[in-house]
Amino acid sequence: MEEQAHKNTGKSVRYALLQQCQEKSKQKWRKLQDQRRSDFSSVLPEAIRKDKNFVSQLHKQLMADIDQAIGEAFQDRFDEWNLSSKLEKLDQIEEDCKELAIQNAWRPSGTPKDDLAAHCTQRYLDEHDKLDNDVFKPLKHDVTDLLAEVQVMCQKVEENKSEIQTILDHPLAQAAK
């Protein structure tokens, strides 16, 4: 279901998961920074540290700026590396592999004769497919064309036969006999 939602947006499933992970990391970082507000205020001069509201606003602004800068840096790297399309290709490769995984891999049987036969069978099938594509399919088209020509010629022979019969049945032809 999640995959369908991402396919509709055109984004990769992996890219969406990466963005979710990135957002969760940002949330954890924000929470950690909120807990360390006292560490932030400890490096400020005493006069500034006394104004808790100002320190809190300063901390929030700094964290928002850092958060935005980190987000932009991540997005710049993602764009620079063309990460979205690469993750999309990876999703496609995984999908293709799922289809191929249905076909079981060949395993040795333990009998040399059977193992050789298995390899020969596969080669035979490959050669058969190649021969079928390279020779038999073009020949089938040629045979079909020849059959069509033969049918046309048969029709012409029948027409000529009927014309000859008509000429022979004509009264002048009867008188000449």
The string of pLDDT tens digits covering residues 41-50 is 888 898 888 9
Find, among 88, 74, 94, the residue nearest to 13 by Cα: 88
**Token duo for residue 43:** 């490096």
User: Both 116 and 92 in a single domain?
Assistant: no
90 with 124, same domain?
no
Would 107 be classed as within a structural domain? no
Specify whether 76 is located in the same domain as 124.
Answer: no
CA-CA distance, 83 to 8, in Å (whole number)?
19
pTM for this entry: 0.47
Tokens of 80: 């620079």
- Residue 176 Cα to chain centre, angstroms: 81
| Two structure tokens written together for 76 | 């710049």
Cβ atoms within 10 Å, residue 36: 12
**Shared domain check, 97 and 13:** yes
Is residue 17 domain-shared with residue 80, that is, in the same domain?
A: yes
Q: Which residue intervals of the chain are DSSP H helices?
A: 2-9, 13-35, 37-42, 46-49, 52-80, 83-101, 112-131, 137-169, 171-176
pLDDT value at 38 more than 90: no
Q: How many domains does the chain have?
A: 2
The boundaries of the domain holding residue 164 are 112-172
| pLDDT tens digits, 56-104 | 899 989 999 999 999 999 999 989 999 888 899 988 888 887 776 566 6
